[in-house]
Amino acid sequence: MDLTKKHFDAVVVVEGKDDTIRLKQFFPGIETIETNGSDVPETVLIQLQKLAHKREIIVLTDPDLNGERIRRLVTEAVPTAKQAFITRREGEPHKKGSLGVEHASKNALVKALSDLHEKKQPVSDLTRAKYQKLGLASGPNSRKLRELVGNKLRIGYGNGKQFYHRLQTFGISLAELKQAVKEVQDED
């Protein structure tokens, strides 16, 4: 997607009007559909399913539990939806408020909308044993490591099981994962 164009072919699914306002601030022609909370109405899911036949759907939600719930519901309804992620740090409010897309900088939003992930048939050479051996599950620092690796790969955070599933879903190879783990460990 060319983010410099006034009109985008894709429709971006966001949580609320503040997210839409923020995106339009930097990308004037962008079109959004708001879920208005984590309990996505059936009418919105049906609208997205119909729209997906004609337009690309991108899910860009807050990096929190409610955002993950929305992402899951939308992706179940529209499996072809592409996924865009901001990190928790990119979504932190500058003064007060809750974590969210509405606080992200232009740079963070450009990164998120430029680095899209889509569901792929699981063909990854990553196994659960290799995943655990890298320290991403059941270790003393596994939570923090998953967060850092999720940021590096721009696929968001998840608990041990969710994160493994996300790596599989997006077809992240063992080599890609090892490289990301090495990079975040070298940064520490």
Q: Which fold has domain 11-114?
A: Dna Topoisomerase Vi A Subunit; Chain: A, domain 2 (3.40.1360)
Q: What is the pLDDT of residue 122?
A: 62
Q: What is the pLDDT of residues 87-132, one digit of tens each?
A: 999 999 888 778 899 999 999 999 999 999 987 766 668 889 999 9
If we measure between CA atoms, which residue out of 164, 90, 183, 163 comes closest to residue 126?
164
Q: Which part of the chain has CATH 3.40.1360.10?
A: 11-114
For tokens 């899911």, the residue is 45
Burial (CB count <10 Å: 0-12, 13-18, 19+), residue 22: buried
Compute the C-alpha angle 149/23/17, nearest 5°.
105
Q: What is the pLDDT of residue 123?
A: 64
* Average pLDDT for 52-77: 94
Instruction: Supply the pTM of this predicted model.
Output: 0.80
Cα 145 to Cα 137: distance, rounded to the nearest angstrom: 9
If we measure between CA atoms, which residue out of 188, 177, 130 comes closest to residue 149?
177
Cα 96 to Cα 6: distance, rounded to the nearest angstrom: 31
Cα 13 to Cα 33: distance, rounded to the nearest angstrom: 5
Q: What is the pLDDT of residue 6?
A: 46
Which amino acid type is present at position 80?
A: T
* Angle between helices 160-169 and 142-153 in degrees, nearest 10: 30
